Chains A and B, each alone.
Chain A
Amino acid sequence: GAGVSQSPSNKVTEKGKDVELRCDPISGHTALYWYRQSLGQGLEFLIYFQGNSAPDKSGLPSDRFSAERTGGSVSTLTIQRTQQEDSAVYLCASSPPFGRANYGYTFGSGTRLTVV
């Protein structure tokens, strides 16, 4: 697609429920990243996928968080047993294959998650 697409744009869930957030990257972008942004804060790295390589999961805050990327394209971030501190905007980004001259990430508009 023309840009990075994320769904849903907003999600309100009850504490303890599981949620799935979806990211559809730009076609041809082999790298895909998930970040989390709390209100007025910077972006916190969560996980990174590059092609068929093992993902960098070093930013996942707990084992309640997991992500997968199927077929090297669409990615799903799953949060199990949500807690109020999980409330944030979850941003997905993609970038061209490693080594290309363009080093900029293209971000989606994010999913605003509210846990009540």
Chain B
Amino acid sequence: GQSLEQPSEVTAVEGAIVQINCTYQTSGFYGLSWYQQHDGGAPTFLSYNALDGLEETGRFSSFLSRSDSYGYLLLQELQMKDSASYFCAVRAPAAGAAGNKLTFGGGTRVLVKP
């Protein structure tokens, strides 16, 4: 089966940098994804890492180390609108079916204060 661990909550001030760590145990692994979800909203795709290293997309960066079963999401220059929940998700083979599916962690609630 799959299990993912990430901190439940992080608080930071505007302009700061936040790193959300994610460790995983998985049977089968294609890559690690990150999603953002505002209260009452749908999860939205932020990034995907299939290979080791850092992927940068604007203020957000995501890192993966496959040998350590570890990744992180880095939020820079925090803004009030970044207050949301952030989920890491492992992409792995689907059971008895072609293709793949995502297994999500419990989410990290980020609160940005003025």
Contacts and interface: CB of A to CB of B under 8 A. Distances in A.
Interface of A: 31, 33, 35, 41-45, 48, 50-51, 53-56, 58, 91, 98, 103-110
B30 to A, nearest CB: 8
Contacts of A45: 101-104
Interface residues on B, range: 20 to 34
A50 B99 contact: yes
Contact of A48 (B31, B33, B94): B94
B48 interface: yes
Contacts of B105: 42
B44 A107 contact: yes
B42 A108 contact: yes
15 contacts: A41-B106, A41-B107, A42-B104, A43-B89, A43-B104, A45-B102, A48-B94, A50-B97, A50-B99, A53-B99, A56-B101, A91-B43, A103-B33, A103-B50, A104-B45
A103 B31 contact: yes
A45 B17 CA distance: 31
A50 B97 CA distance: 8
Contacts of A44: 104
Given A55-B97, A98-B100, A103-B48, 9 more contacts: A33-B102, A35-B104, A48-B97, A48-B101, A53-B99, A98-B99, A103-B50, A107-B43, A109-B41
